[in-house]
Chains A and B, each alone.
Chain A
C-alpha cells in the first residue's frame, strides 16, 4: 500500500463548476499538507499549504485536512480553463515530501 493514495482521474468539468480533489494517507508522522499544480512538462507549483486540521481558503481554492480520518481535500470554485492541469497532493514528515500520483483535471470552456 502506498503512503499517499490519490485517484488519478482524469476529471473533466464544465467552466464554472466546483472541482473536488482528495487524497488519503496512512503515515501518522505526516505533519504538513500541500497541494501542487503541475502543467505539462513543468515542475510542480505550490498552491496550498497547511499544517493543521480544518479549512484554509485562498481565493477560489479551499484546502481541507482531517487528520483523524487521514484525509485531505482541495476544492476549486468557479473553475476556469486555465485551471486545467495535474493536481498533486503532498505530505511531509520531518524532512521528506511524499506525493500522490496526481489527478489530471480538464475544465471545458
Chain B
C-alpha cells in the first residue's frame, strides 16, 4: 500500500496527558499537511511542511501543539497537556503538486 499512513488509528487519553501521532506520506511527496476535523465539520488546516521546513501554521495551532518533519520524510504531531476540546480526528495529507491525498486519520478522544 503506497497511500498516506497514520498511526495510531485511535487514541484515548486523559485530560492533561501528552499524545503524539505519526504520519508517513506517499513517498516522494514533498508537501505534508495536518488537518483537524470535528463531527459535522470539514477538515480545518493546522500546518504545512515543504520537505522539512514548516512553512505555515494556523491560529488553531496553540502553543500546546507542535509538529515536526525531520529529514522531510515522516511527520509527528504532538499535543501537550490535552484538553477535552482537542477531541477530534487528526488527518494527515501529502502532495507532490496540487492534489492532496489523505490518510485515514487518528481519532483522538480526551476524557
- A residues lining the B interface (CB < 8 Å): 4, 6, 8, 32, 34, 36, 41-46, 49, 51, 88, 90, 92, 95-102
Contact = CB atoms under 8 A, between A and B. Distances in A.
Contacts of B26: none
A51 B98 contact: yes
For B6, B42, B43, B93, which residue has the most chain A Cβ atoms within 10 angstroms?
Answer: B42
Contacts, number: 59
30 contacts: A8-B40, A32-B98, A34-B99, A34-B100, A41-B89, A43-B4, A43-B6, A43-B104, A43-B105, A46-B99, A46-B100, A46-B101, A46-B102, A51-B98, A88-B43, A90-B42, A90-B100, A92-B98, A95-B48, A95-B55, A96-B48, A97-B93, A97-B100, A98-B45, A99-B42, A99-B44, A101-B40, A101-B42, A102-B41, A102-B42
A4 B45 CA distance: 13
Interface residues on B, range: 20 to 34
A97 B48 CA distance: 10
Contacts of A102: 40-42
B102 A6 contact: no
Nearest to A102: B42
Interface in B23-59: 31, 33, 40-45, 48, 50, 55-56
A99 B99 contact: no
B73 interface: no
Given A41-B89, A51-B98, A97-B33, 14 more contacts: A6-B42, A34-B99, A42-B104, A43-B4, A43-B104, A46-B99, A49-B98, A90-B42, A96-B48, A97-B45, A99-B44, A100-B42, A101-B40, A101-B41
Contacts of A49: 98-99
Contacts of B101: 46
A27 to B, nearest CB: 13
A6 B103 CA distance: 23
A43 B93 CA distance: 9
